[in-house]
A and B are shown apart, each in its own frame.
Chain A
Amino acid sequence: MAAENVHLQLEWDQDPELVHPREDRLGLRIRVQRSDGSPVPAARLRIRLQAPETPWLASTDFPVVEGTTLLDHDLNLQGGVHAFQFVPPIRGSYTLSASVEPLPGGISFAPIQKSWTTTVRESADRKKNLAILLTILVVVGGISGFMIGRASRTMALAALLLMVWPPSPVKAHGSHQHSKPAPAPLQAEDTQDGDRIDLRILSSEARVGELTAIEADYRDTQGHLKPARFRLEVTQLEHDQLVFATDIAASNGSMSWQGQLFDGSTHRVTVTAAPIHAAPDQKPARAERDLEVTGVAPPLLAVVKSLGFLLLVTAAALLIGILMGRLISQQKGGLT
């Protein structure tokens, strides 16, 4: 019998253009369909999400994440659909690639692979904040240059004051201290029937820029694996923000996931699970564990690029200020 053709389709829950880094969650749904449009009942799906590459001009606020893998997930697909939600950490073009191959005993089809690219842009608020910072630097640089050009000592004090004056309009967001929530190493809640979840963090250390591997099993009172429908949620506790969520149906009672936690702060991994054919009102089993994600100091190149850009803007304003100061000074008869 000839292998059937299947195709992959990607749907977004909202226009990616409207999603901003670190602020909004983007939902994706991958459909694996047969040529007649019906879903492929069972298949092996691998999805891989790649973060945007390093921008050439200046760094993003998570330089360690740039160009790394955000998600690498292998799963047995049930019902032809897999959905997940994630918070994009930085601006730029994300690449999602998916490959699908048949499962033994399932329908036969030729393995296929497909990639999609989408761009996420910074929010208007952040662009405005950057514009305010650059304006302050231009004003400080320009006034300082003007004073130097005119060689006026009294006004130089005013320029110095401006230099150390904090950029208060940008500070409107308020300062923020890293809060350390109370540790909650493992909390588990079994079902009424005594079914439970074994949640394991496989990575020895969760670290920004690297994938963290998580596994969970759904077991009955005798300890046997039981087919279950899992829901995995990862919450960043500092802002109480859900950064990743997905549903996984596992006929073997076991799920695994590999993803990157991009913020160096405490995260809570929550897994809930119920038997695949459970009644809708049945309370699922639940397990959660807190993870301290190790932040990585930004690479020197990222610091040099961004600081260099800010200083270049200031230097340009300073130069213009000096030229203007000298011009005015010459017009007034050479005040020195």
Chain B
Amino acid sequence: MLKCTGIGRAVFPCPGFAVISQHQGGRSMPTIYTQARRHLRITRKLKLGILHKAFITLAIIGVVLYTMLFTTTPLVHDYFHELRHNLMLIPCH
């Protein structure tokens, strides 16, 4: 089986390639549950260093904070507009 090398020391089967091969071979597409199980299996085998984990955690928090409090996309901005103004240090228009 083909191996994908990912972040850090991770070495795991390449699910995307497997899906394409199955599909091209005429077999049925895997369900969302099959995919979820595969990803869980991959995640369990994934070994990341503390620095990587801390960086990924901070990045996720950063994305959530930016989306809620800093983006100028009208739909999101309008929903959180009052919240932004009531948090003292969130710049708005």
Binding site for B on A (CB under 8 A): 22, 58-64, 91, 122, 125-127, 129-130, 133, 137, 140-141, 144-145, 148-149, 153, 159-160, 163-164, 166, 170-171, 173-178, 208, 264, 295-299, 302-303, 306-307, 309-311, 314-315, 318-319, 322
Interface residue B64 (Cβ < 8 Å from any Cβ of A): yes
> Considering only CB atoms and an 8 Å cut-off, how many residues of chain B contact the other chain?
32
Whether B91 lies near A302 (C-beta < 8 A) is: yes
Whether A298 lies near B92 (C-beta < 8 A) is: yes
Question: Distance (Å) between the CB of A205 and the closest chain B CB?
Answer: 14
Question: What would 5 more interface pairs be, CB under 8 Å, given A59-B89, A61-B87, A175-B82?
Answer: A61-B90, A127-B88, A144-B57, A148-B53, A149-B50
- Helix, strand, loop or mixed for chain B's interface? helix
Distance A134 CA – B19 CA, assembled complex (angstroms) = 44
Q: Knowing A62-B92, A311-B58 touch, does A163 contact B79 (C-beta < 8 A)? A: no
* CB-based nearest B residue for A209: B93
Q: Knowing A145-B54, A153-B44 touch, does A60 contact B78 (C-beta < 8 A)? A: no
Which of A137, A176, A299 is B61 in contact with, Cβ under 8 Å? A137
Binding site for A on B (CB under 8 A): 44, 50, 53-54, 57-58, 60-62, 64-66, 68-70, 72, 78-93
Whether A163 lies near B70 (C-beta < 8 A) is: no
Q: Knowing A208-B93, A307-B65, A318-B57 touch, does A61 contact B88 (C-beta < 8 A)? A: yes
Question: Distance (Å) between the CB of B2 and the closest chain A CB?
Answer: 26
Whether B82 lies near A174 (C-beta < 8 A) is: yes
Q: Knowing A137-B61, A295-B93, A322-B50 touch, does A170 contact B87 (C-beta < 8 A)? A: yes
Whether A60 lies near B54 (C-beta < 8 A) is: no
Q: Knowing A59-B89, A130-B88, A318-B54 touch, does A163 contact B82 (C-beta < 8 A)? A: no
Whether A63 lies near B54 (C-beta < 8 A) is: no
